[in-house]
Amino acid sequence: MHYVVSDVHGRCEAVVAALRQAKLLDSDRSWCGGQARLTFLGDYFDRGPDGVAVVDLVRRLQDEAAASGGRVDAVIGNHEILALGMSRFGGQHVPSDIWSGRSFARSWALNGGQVRDQQSLTGEHIRWLSGLDSVVLAGSDLLLHSDTTDYLRWGETTEQINNAVRKVLAGDDIEKWWQCWVRLTTRYAFAGVDGEDVAADLLHRLGGKRIVHGHSIITTFTGQDLSEVSGPFSYASGRVLAVDGGVCCGGPCLVVPLDHHFAPEA
Q: What is the pLDDT of residue 67?
A: 97
Q: What is the pLDDT of residue 217?
A: 98
Q: What is the pLDDT of residue 6?
A: 98
What is the total count of domains within the chain? 1
Cβ-contact 251, 245 below 8 angstroms: yes
Q: Does 7 fall in a domain?
A: yes
Structural domain range at position 117: 2-260
Cα distances (angstroms) measured from residue 24 to each of 39, 74, 246: 12, 16, 21
Question: Residue 162, by phi and psi: left (phi above 0), alpha (psi -120 to 50) or beta?
Answer: alpha
Q: Does 266 fall in a domain?
A: no
Q: What is the pLDDT of residue 259?
A: 81
CA 166/CA 135 separation, integer angstroms:
12
Q: Does 81 fall in a domain?
A: yes
Q: Does 241 fall in a domain?
A: yes
CA 99/CA 265 separation, integer angstroms:
44
Q: Does 138 fall in a domain?
A: yes
CATH number at residue 146: 3.60.21.10
Helix 174-185 to helix 158-169 angle, to the nearest 10 degrees? 130
Q: Does 195 fall in a domain?
A: yes
Q: Does 265 fall in a domain?
A: no
Q: What is the pLDDT of residue 101?
A: 77
pLDDT beneath 50: ranges in the chain: 265-266
Q: Does 19 fall in a domain?
A: yes
